[in-house]
Structure 1
Amino acid sequence: MSATTGPYAALVAEHGLATSHRLVLDAVPADARVLDVGCATGYLAAELARRGCTVVGVEYDPVAAQQARAACREVVVGDLEDARTRAEVERAVAGAGGVDTIICADVLEHLRDPWTVLSWLRTVLDPGGRAVISVPNIAHWTARRALLRGRFDYADFGLFDRTHLRFFTRASAAELARRAGFAVREEHPAGAPLPLESRVPALARVRDRCVRRCPGLLALQVVLVLTVAQPRP
């Protein structure tokens, strides 16, 4: 069995966790009971376990799921858009004593109906719990540049990943959360290295300030921390 499976696990193995991964991890309380949706090979679950968290994973790829079991209490293999997989997740969550944190890191854009899946995930979250989601920002300057050139070239990973079925901006990511019954409590933009940054390290500090000031243009990923919305009276 390969040490990694899929392009994103390979990227993590080669380069380490991305900025968006770190932001997701920072939003998870220590000792949390976590449902890691799309846990891949368990690279986030392993970090969470080191922080005292108990993790239940869900993964479509059975090879990746087998590797993730080393870091997870249990891994459910299947498609969350299938009712049978959802039933298995509900069973696993109940066996873990519930979950107070759900993470969907670079997952929702791969689903046919992320609105319905996120709405269902809200129903398995403990009262007072949180969800942490990250999605690519299709309004990032590199995507805008490509479109201005008349290009939309699919790739193995990144903004134009050929397995992406949905595309989000900051505004539509927040709308996805609201339609699923969540309230957005925090938004964290995650940047990406600028051209020439490897040669001019000072650009990294400039980049981080610019991303915070203009996230719609410069955030490669949008990380949202969500809580269940209170019903209106």
Structure 2
Amino acid sequence: MTTAPPQRERPHGLRDFYEDPDVTVASGTPRSLRQARMLADALGPATSGVQTVIDIGCGDGTAAATAAPLLAGHRIIGVDWSQDALKRAHTHIPYAVRGELTDGGLPFQSASADAVLFSEVIEHLVDPDAALDEIHRILRPGGHLMLSTPNLAAWYNRALLLAGVQPVFSEVSLRAIHGRPGQEVVGHLRLYTARALREFVAASGFEVVQLRGAPFHGVPRPMRPLDRLACRAPSMSSILLLHARRT
């Protein structure tokens, strides 16, 4: 007699989904390192003055921990909505607090942050406009926004769409994968092309400084050299890395 595998309880909403410890809250090291190098170049050494970096959507804290050696001397504070993620984040970074990307939902005064890391978060949001408004509020004038998000127009997604296949990163359900490659449901609600991301961020009160590409850790090993090559053309890369400044 065989026993049927246990059925995973279906999430009742976004809050239940992100509080599920089985949902991935970490991201790839190559993307984290590239983004941290961009921020380190923008901030300069801490000998010029300690600056405050807010990692919004810090997840389990691994991205902030990866960035910390490159941002030595600067103050890094993690923020997340999920209590489960914050418990894990405290094992990687010294400061992690709860906050939401709503009007006044982040526990920081206006113009109090020198930089915001916004890594692999915007694609999960119902209201990205309110999120950028809140980030704009806490950043000082001239403060840095380092945003990363999957690229809807990644080189393989273009081929998949031509074949009538749902693009990688896009999801039609919080319960299961339908019609696309991959094995994990991670809760993506919105996806951007390079052009759309630039226009959206600029319309939200930021000056776009640069846009770079980064590889995706989930690309099959034989295809990774091609994925790294695509980073030379950010509009075709797996991950979009955008640096903007608050105007």
Match of 2:3 in 1: none
Q: Which runs of 5+ in 2 are unaligned?
A: 1-20, 172-176
Structure 1 residue identity aligned to 2:29: A
Structure 1 or 2: more helix by fraction: 1
2:63 and 2:160 map into 1 onto residues whose CA distance is 31
Change (3 A) 1:121 1:76: same
Structure 2 residue identity aligned to 1:117: A
Pair 1:18 & 2:34 matched: no
Structure 1 residue 49: deviation in Å?
3.5
Structure 1 residue identity aligned to 2:137: T
The DSSP-based 3-state class of the residue aligned with 2:108 is helix
Match of 1:148 in 2: 162
Q: Deviations over 1:42-87 (max 9, x none)?
A: 1122234332331221112211101212444532224323x4633x
1:130 and 1:84 map into 2 onto residues whose CA distance is 19
1:221 to 239, 242, 246: 239
Give the RMSD, CA atoms, in angstroms: 3.0
Aligned ranges for residues 153-172 of structure 1 at < 5 Å? 154=171, 155=177, 163-172=187-196
Match of 2:14 in 1: none
Pair 1:113 & 2:127 matched: yes
2:207 to 160, 165, 183: 183
Q: TM-score, normalised by structure 1?
A: 0.74
1:152 and 1:209 map into 2 onto residues whose CA distance is 23
Match of 1:55 in 2: 76
What's the % identity of the aligned pairs? 26
Corresponding pairs, count: 205
CA contact 2:211–2:234 (8 Å) conserved in 1: no
Aligned ranges for residues 94-133 of structure 1 at < 5 Å? 98-133=112-147
CA contact 1:20–1:221 (8 Å) conserved in 2: yes
1:39 to 34, 52, 58: 58
Match of 1:6 in 2: 23
Q: Which runs of 5+ in 1 are unaligned?
A: none
Change (3 A) 1:5 1:103: farther
